[in-house]
Structure 1
Amino acid sequence: MTGPIRALVLVDAFRMGGAETLLAPMIVASRDTDVDMDVVSVSPAAMNSEKTMRILADAGITTRSLGIRRLLDPIALPRLASVIHRGGYDVVHAHLEMAMTLAVPAAALARRPVVCTFHHVARSLSGRAAGRERLAVEAASRSYRALFVSEASRQSFQESYRSHGMPDNWRVMHNGIDVANFTPGEPDWTLRAELSSGVDGPLVVLPGAFRDFKGIPVAIRAWPLIKRQFPDAVLALVGGGELEGELRELVAAEGVGDSVVFAGIRTNMPDVYRAADVVLVPSTKYENLPTVVIEASATACAIAASRIGGIPDIVPDGVTGLLFEPGSEEELAAAVCRLLGDADLRHRLGAAARERAHAEFSATSWVARLQTTYREAIGTHR
């Protein structure tokens, strides 16, 4: 197919989640292409997040909610098929489970192709949640293309649902972010002093919510090992969450309260990355394609991260950063110390990380790959 493409982007609801917040940079990037994207949620508007709606509105994105409350709602398929047909869409792109479960049969009624994207790493589920995910996998496997945003995601779904063999239409396609604001440059020395509590030494920044799978306790327990080689180094924990009390107790127990700073939640993350000598991501499980690693890469940071989930997709070990085994305090300390001790290595890895972020993980590159997939889907369907 040549010429403009009209695409219906379908989501479960405009909740505050990783997949939903990626809609804005994707649609903004599509405006420089011949793909015209409309965004619709399956669920009632009452399920939408006010913050997500504000993000979309600020980007000039108009949305609709179809008011479908459950998969077995008798109005679901005819209503969605009508939206696809009346909208004159060439292709439907469904994100998340409910959307793709409905999109595949509804698009078949409207005689349009479907592309589906999974945004998470599959893990053990039970009850209705397990049933919903299985239905989504079955539906997506009958679409033109089932996309997984990391190799770890695709492998986890294969292990859970297709252990006998991966369907031919399953592919990895990395999503992207708006990298425009994440540029390298001189640090804001006032901010750096704030993040380090005024200590004039190497600064390691650990960005992320204080949640159990982020591996922050591993970093805290490893910090004394790093301090032996770099006594004036500071670890800045940039984020917040319900585990903060436990983390503060651990910092005290490890005797590193003078060099671990709880820097709070920040809205100026490009400046935070530029202030860091090393960005540390010690996640222990569940990570799919963490945005903070893409942001840090685009800012040309030296990155030390755990070898888990989709992180190796972003950070090829020794090429754009250093990887270590999740949960290993010794390997984490060795990676951080190697970076702190070698400015040339930090510069080389950071430059390669920035180049890779723009080529593979920008919203622009993501939309270019989607455009190619959409054209293939439309051409095959016709």
Structure 2
Amino acid sequence: MTGGVSALVLIDAFRMGGAETLLAPMIVASRDTDVSMDVVSISPSEWNSEKTMTILAEAGIPTRSLGIRRLLDPVALPRLVRTIREGQYDVVHAHLEMAMTLAVPAAALAGRPSVCTFHHVARPLEGRAAWRERLAVEAATRSRRALFVSEASRRSFAENYRPKGMPANWEVMHNGIDIANFSPGQADPQVRRELAGGGDSLIAVLPAAFRDFKGIPVAIRAWPAVIEKFPSAVLALTGGGELEGELRQLVADLGLNESVNFVGVRTDMPEVYRAADVVVLPSTHGENLPTVLIESSATACAIAASRIGGIPDIVLDGETGLLFEAGSVEGFADTVCRLLGDAELRRRLGVAASERARSEFSATAWLARLRTTYLEAMGDRR
């Protein structure tokens, strides 16, 4: 493609997940550049998520599925090599393990460079899952760039697969999201009333699915110490999930029904962030690059979050938010109280967070970094 870059973006399947839903803002951002992207799934179309396909269709993104069901399918490599050659792509960018395991050798056979992106923090695996991930790591290490969306992700893969030294082509490249709607602004009084349960209170919003690694019980157990200093403060649990019954019982057991509100899954998250005095995320493990912290940063929220996984990639302690030790009830309470008691600190952190979200975590910034990586990978072929 003269004067630009043509990329084949490969993914395992259009399932409902973080990597899959990030495709839309990335490809939309490419429309204002000289990078063109075609997105193709390795797997059969019946494996696709209807919700993900709707998101892509609404963004005007055409898709294809190659119908490959397993890594050892004899048609897999020939079909992928043919796809690369027929599309005359300059570079192949694979997301997730099956895609990169096939993409790296296929791109080499087609005479094209490949780039791979890992989207999770590695954890110990067994059986076929361990075998599949090891194959993907070996393939990605042979590509021009193996990208990890957080330092925690890169470090975890090094500990599991390269304990004697990290390969030179392993790099951190943060994802970006569409932050157009997540701009600073005045809080909607109605939304504040909904979060606070009707009162005029200081509000800490915890935006997370009710899952074990989100650390929501840490926030609930810390809340008595918070309301001891700020009696009208409210913790608004924004989300839902299988642990809701247990969390409601914990709130009742601690006598917190008046100061901890379950506000459900919201479709107006920009307004929720603008209505919050503080956004909290007390995750205990498993976090890579939580989107809610990018969104809330973009809206200039003051953030208190645990120092775990990829959270420190987003929240620079003392600069764009405050961090506390994961699992620490006392740390959570002290950090939230510090923010609730200092409006100027909240303002300063929020302004810095919003600026950094736009320069580092927008889809536009992500696409610019990818373009540079693609050109470097192409090298003399350009």
TM-score if structure 1 supplies the norm length?
0.99
Q: Quick check: 1:176 aligned with 2:176?
A: yes
Measured after TM superposition, the shift of residue 253 of structure 1 is 1.1
Q: Which residue is equivalent to 1:7?
A: 7
Measured after TM superposition, the shift of residue 381 of structure 1 is 5.8
Q: Which residue is equivalent to 1:91?
A: 91
Q: Which residue is equivalent to 2:345?
A: 345
Q: Which residue is equivalent to 1:103?
A: 103
Measured after TM superposition, the shift of residue 3 of structure 1 is 1.4
C-alpha distance in 2 between matches for 1:221 and 1:127: 38
Q: Which residue is equivalent to 1:256?
A: 256
**3-state SS in 2 of match to 1:305:** strand
C-alpha distance in 1 between matches for 2:380 and 2:283: 41
Equivalent runs, 1:227-266 vs 2, <5 Å: 227-266=227-266
Q: Quick check: 1:148 aligned with 2:153?
A: no
Measured after TM superposition, the shift of residue 200 of structure 1 is 1.2
Unaligned 5+ runs, structure 1? none
Measured after TM superposition, the shift of residue 191 of structure 1 is 1.1
Runs of 4+ in structure 1 deviating by more than 4 angstroms, as ranges, are none
C-alpha distance in 1 between matches for 2:160 and 2:380: 29
Q: Which residue is equivalent to 2:357?
A: 357
AA partner of residue 267 (structure 1): T
Measured after TM superposition, the shift of residue 380 of structure 1 is 5.1
C-alpha distance in 2 between matches for 1:2 and 1:342: 55
Q: Which residue is equivalent to 1:78?
A: 78
Equivalent runs, 1:1-382 vs 2, <5 Å: 3-379=3-379
Measured after TM superposition, the shift of residue 195 of structure 1 is 1.0
AA partner of residue 245 (structure 2): G
C-alpha distance in 1 between matches for 2:380 and 2:123: 33
CA contact (8 A) 1:113 1:381 kept: no
C-alpha distance in 2 between matches for 1:201 and 1:8: 50
User: Which string of whole-angstrom CA distances, capped at 9 and with x for unpartnered residues, describes residues 289-318 of structure 1?
Assistant: 000000000000000000001110001100
C-alpha distance in 2 between matches for 1:144 and 1:305: 34
CA contact (8 A) 1:306 1:325 kept: yes
C-alpha distance in 1 between matches for 2:110 and 2:323: 47
User: Which string of whole-angstrom CA distances, capped at 9 and with x for unpartnered residues, describes residues 103-146 of structure 1?
Assistant: 00000110000000000000011110010000000000000000
Unaligned 5+ runs, structure 2? none
C-alpha distance in 2 between matches for 1:258 and 1:152: 38
AA partner of residue 218 (structure 1): V
C-alpha distance in 2 between matches for 1:2 and 1:53: 31
CA-atom RMSD in angstroms: 0.9
TM-score if structure 2 supplies the norm length?
0.99
C-alpha distance in 2 between matches for 1:159 and 1:308: 16
CA contact (8 A) 1:211 1:243 kept: yes
The number of aligned residues is 382
C-alpha distance in 2 between matches for 1:248 and 1:124: 32
More moved, 202-211 vs 251-260: 251-260
C-alpha distance in 2 between matches for 1:95 and 1:278: 34
C-alpha distance in 2 between matches for 1:328 and 1:294: 23
AA partner of residue 79 (structure 2): R
User: Which string of whole-angstrom CA distances, capped at 9 and with x for unpartnered residues, describes residues 141-179 of structure 1?
Assistant: 000000000000000000000001000100000010001
Identity of aligned residues (%): 75
Measured after TM superposition, the shift of residue 348 of structure 1 is 0.2
C-alpha distance in 2 between matches for 1:283 and 1:2: 47
CA contact (8 A) 1:285 1:309 kept: yes
AA partner of residue 237 (structure 1): L
AA partner of residue 221 (structure 2): R
**3-state SS in 2 of match to 1:22:** helix
User: Which string of whole-angstrom CA distances, capped at 9 and with x for unpartnered residues, describes residues 300-337 of structure 1?
Assistant: 00000000011100011000000000000001111100
AA partner of residue 165 (structure 1): G
**3-state SS in 1 of match to 2:249:** helix
C-alpha distance in 2 between matches for 1:377 and 1:65: 25
AA partner of residue 115 (structure 1): V
C-alpha distance in 2 between matches for 1:171 and 1:333: 35
Measured after TM superposition, the shift of residue 254 of structure 1 is 1.2
CA contact (8 A) 1:306 1:324 kept: yes
